[in-house]
Amino acid sequence: MYAFELVRPGTVEEAVALLASPDAQALGGGQTLIPALKQRLARPARLVSLSGIAAIKGVTASGGTVTVGGGATHAEVAAAAARTYPALAALAGRIGDPAVRSRGTIGGSLANNDPSACYPAAVLASGATVVTPAREIAADDFFRGMFATALADGEIITAVRFPVPVRAAYMKFVQPASRFALAGVFVAQTPAGVRVAVTGAAEAGVFRWTAAEAALTADFRPESVRGLVPPARGMIGDIHASPEYRAHLVGVMTARAVAAA
């Protein structure tokens, strides 16, 4: 580790002002940033902790929408959304381990946009809206590739609004050591059709699998996607799985998610 300044604002306005400095970086739960600091992969002079901002915490439901504060932890989402959006709650309850779930936040996860993170699949499949102090960003416009989002420098996520679908489920094939997804698929059936979002598999990060969406919109059954596999080109290949195996897993997890939904 190295020396840096840690500040803990109490309001969103204070945080935005502090993050206007070019050498400042927001700190959510720290589950990604702290390891990066230890390895000197990031070296901000000032860390702006968002943990003291009450306005960006909590989970509420109203009018068919679940609103999750950007500072809500995975454990809080798992508990608070269990009745209003069970698929989202189940996803949150399987992130990492209990220590990670007690500290990590949805805002931090989405801002980092790890290609194997779970929340991006839920946001994209749900057609959610990411809220910042300056604007609202539709899910389809938010994710820009591996570790890249539409957020500007210093822009923080204050809330995420999830329209609750007719039915939904998330299934992931877990890498045992990291608990990240080798392939995770979130399927959401909405009045406008089916949305299928895939995480953990592609080099470009989370993506919508349109072929599966079309098949499931026509007939929402596991049989509709059995044997359907996305192209292996562009899938991640590493010591854990080849691109072809990850593509195969996407098809399998999609069918399982449909069955669970």
Which among 162, 171, 252 has a CA at the least distance from the CA of 212? 252
pTM listed for this prediction: 0.95
Contact 114, 206 (CB under 8 A): no
Residue 159 CA to residue 59 CA, distance in Å, equals: 9
> Which span out of 22-31, 39-48, 232-241 was modeled with the highest average pLDDT?
232-241
- If asked whether residues 156 and 241 sit together in one domain, one would say no
**Do 73 and 115 fall within a single domain?**
yes
Query: In terms of residue numbers, what domain contains 98?
Result: 5-163
CATH of the domain at 209: 3.30.390.50
Q: 157 with 242, same domain? A: no
Domain boundary among 122, 142, 163: 163
Same domain, 107 and 193: no
DSSP letter at 40? T
Q: Rounded to an integer, what distance in angstroms lies between the CA atom of residue 179 and that of residue 113?
A: 16
Which residues neighbour 238 within 8 Å (Cβ) at sequence distance 6 or greater?
none
- Residue found under tokens 């990492």: 96
pLDDT band at 42 (very low <50, low <70, confident <90, very high): confident
Question: 64-83, pLDDT tens digit by residue?
Answer: 999 999 999 999 999 999 99
Q: What domain count does the chain have?
A: 2
